[in-house]
A and B are shown apart, each in its own frame.
Chain A
Amino acid sequence: MPRRVAAQTAVQHGMSNISLFLILLAPFAGIFAVSVAAGFSRSLGAWAAGASMAAGLVAALQLAPQVFSGSVVLWRVAWLPEWGLDFALRLDGLGLLFVVLILGIGLLIVLYAAYYMPQTDNLGRFYIALLGFAGGMLGIVLAENILLMVVFWEVTSLTSFLLIAYKYADVEARIAARLSLAMTGGGGLALLAGALLLGHVAGSYDFSVIEDRAGLVRDNALYPVILILFLLGAFTKSAQFPFHVWLPHAMAAPTPVSAYLHSATMVKAGVFLLARMYPILAGTELWFVIVSTTGAITFLYGAYIALLKHDLKGLLAYSTISHLGLITLLFGLDTPLAAIAGVFHIINHAIFKASLFMAAGIIDHETGTRDMRRMAGLFKAMPRTAILGILAAASMAGVPLLNGFLSKEMFFTATVAHPGFENAIYLLPAFATIAGMLSVAYSVRFVHDVFFDGPVKKTPKVPHEPPVWMRLPIEVLVGLVLIVGFLPQLSVGPILHTAAEAVLPGPVPDIKLAVWHGFNLPLVMTIMAFGLGILQFSRRHKLYALRDRFAFALTSPVAFERFYRAAARLSTALLAFADTQSLQRYLALFFSFAVIAGVWAWVRIDLTGGGATVLTGPLPILAVDATAVVAAATLVFAALGTVVFRHDRLKALIYMSVAGTVVSLAFLRFHAPDLAMTQLSVEVVTILLLLMCLRYLPERSARQSTTGRRMRDGLLATAAGTGVAALTYAMLTRPYETIAAYHMANAKPLGGGTNVVNVILVDFRGYDTLGEIAVLAMAALGLHALLSGTRMQGPGGPTLASADRYPIMLAELMRPLLPLSLAVAAYIFLRGHNLPGGGFIAGLVAAVALVLQYVAQGTDFAGERLRINTVRLLGIGLGIATLTGVASFVFGYPFLTSTHGYVTPPVIDKFELASAIAFDLGVFLVVIGTVLLALTELAGLRRAEDVAVPAKGDA
């Protein structure tokens, strides 16, 4: 009983349990053995593969007595204990049953494949994939930790991909492999999610622990999600409708692969999962409805399609689907008897289906075709194989004295004894009979069409018996069919009992496996199924005609490929929208999402406390007067003008300068004359430099946008602007602490100046200013590096007479203005520490005066007279500023400490002098240097253009 696990754990940690690990290790060790051995010879590789399978089987049989005594063998290595991942293995009845099936049939497949596969193939790759797959399967059935099980689950998905795509030159095989990987791999991921959830709910990933808390899991709100995720995993793997599509196409694999994957292993992993999870997840209405319905549909559908298939392996594939449906249905019926029947049928189906696949492989191998319409009367050509095939098919149909009969009888009994369907007690038995009838029909068809049906037809190869060793695996399996069929209680009774103990949460009912149960309802159903089945078979041609009339063109690989292409198309379409590689589109998207994010934040606010206080803070709003209105109106007007006339560059510039002027006036109004002066002079310099640039640009810029786009951009800009304005409003109406008071109080005593802004610039924040002028100088140098020697190929300037180019009045007016402006600059510079002014503004004023000379009299005239090395000027300015800072080290103060005192130079009156003034001089020089450098470089461009013309002519 599973309940004994905890008690047994302590006892079971003996040395022998290492065998449990050896079972799992055997196939993986075999991979290395094969990869070495196959290099020597083909048969050595086969021996290595067989030996590793056999070794695993021996290790498992060694543990069998322990399992039969009713205990669960556990083996555990702490791997990541704190993450709930242990490398924990368990062997119970169910596990043992599967281990024997996997390794036993695996051993036979190794032998069979050695003869089936072409002699040119050295089989190394085949056996490696096969062993990897067997290892994965063993991992699934032996895992104690459910996450470990998921890991091995994916191993089987991957290795089955390799096995199905073994003949990779074949397009069909590749598509089939991809289809099966997509289905089973996807199911595996669902399973992973389910396992994570289950572990979360149960508080452990250990199967034994979860089993003890099964009630907890079933009562949890997440139970339906867990169940569906697990079932997705099981149904995709076990090819349940509608996830069955991959299985028929996986027949593109070599027959040994099909025989292995679709009898005892791959597809059985799904039903194994159902059996394993039965004590945990079963017992609810939901389980019953989903599992039994899916199983029933698959059972019937598979059987029906199997009858219509002309391809030998196709018939077997659909019959496999049908039988898996039957097993699923049995677990879904959710009664102890049905569950035991399910386990029993797993064994029986594995045995007869493996032998049928191998028989089909022999027929294919010996005749060269798999089409049942092209073969007949093979009984004469290969009587031994025919007898084996007939026996296996009879078992599939459920003929008495063979093993298939027993589990089918159990199934019929379970349907009759099922407590559900009170009002329709005959519904389930009737369904079972119909499905049984179809199985009989396709089994009969297999036997009739292949082995009888007249004389031998002409097939690509002349059929004869296969080599003895190739037939041996089938003989062994058919032998088992007979033994189980005759002596069920003696042969499979014990293992079925222990497996049932592992599956059923409660006590195992006493089941008697006997060939003869007396004349009862199930036997009547069997007889009806046979009668109807043979009748159905005799009228099969009507069914074919019907099928041909309504041929369903959309086969699943086609559908899959279409889906695949559709996904690629969807992706491309998505990209066309989301990934246009257009910067404009990116920016629009960026802003849209920024606006959405802002709106989201608004929506997040709980407005129950009154919406008004969210936006407006406690500070009073200043009164609005006429000046403010006019200024604001001008600002808006100028901004709009810039936008409207953006194509007419000159006009746009003028509007921009208006906006700049209003901004500097606004500074003045808020009592910041320093800022106002700075803003004004910066405005003048930038506008002048921009005017100079206009020379190289066409008068009007080209239209680069459509109306729709402009609308979109306008909307976005408005939305973003409104949001920013609202936030600014919210922020300005809230009280805030400033550091202004500190600066106001300390500018005079500490910095020796009354102009707080200037003191901040050159003293308190002198380090910042030093950094800024360094950046300014670097920007100027960058400009220098970019523009010096650049030849611009702009449109030629307007051809005007030189007299008109530089109006004489302007030129004459400018000349006397220069010394005057320079004097003003010097004045502003000197008074800067106490009154509005300072190095920065003075530098700009002086620069404006010089720029005006260029504008009024041309670069040739001005350039000849103004021979200053601007780069050197920058260096000198930076040097002075830095030296001022360093000088304080000499006096033992930190960098840039300033001092101040009073000097009384001749002529001028008593004058307060701070050491910061030297620093300010540095600022002054850097500003002048930067502007002049920009100016001369821009002016130099034009000349380069003139020079470029003849150069172009040469080329």
Chain B
Amino acid sequence: MAFYIVYIREAHASDIWQDPDNLKDRVSYTEPKSAEERSEMGQLCAAKLGIKFPAVVDGLDNATERAYTGWPERLYVIGQDGRIAYKSGPGPYGFRSKEVADTLHRVVPPLRNGLDLSGGLLPKPADRAIRNPVQPSQE
């Protein structure tokens, strides 16, 4: 499976809607005004938050954010068939990563069957049997 950050317009840019919690954390940035500024902010965001998977940047027209109602944050799982398998509620309240994990266990065949665990997603079956002698029942 693939993971992507879609960097969108800021949730609490200091010049638009400052969040006091951000100020406490000394996070205070204005809304990027150009595509280049937005790309730089996307890079900064991924670096500061220690995000290991790739970040792509929404255009200044916010077209992708609008299509997905992604602001201020939101999670999606798109199935192999290109259909939406999971859509979270709007963040911050709806941002529930466990629901993504549950969806992945349902839609990714290796995770679902607990058989072919190639790709390093989970320990190999033998390892898992040692660590977790009780095998989860198959769906």
Say whether A associates with B.
no
A positions within 8 Å CB-CB of B: none
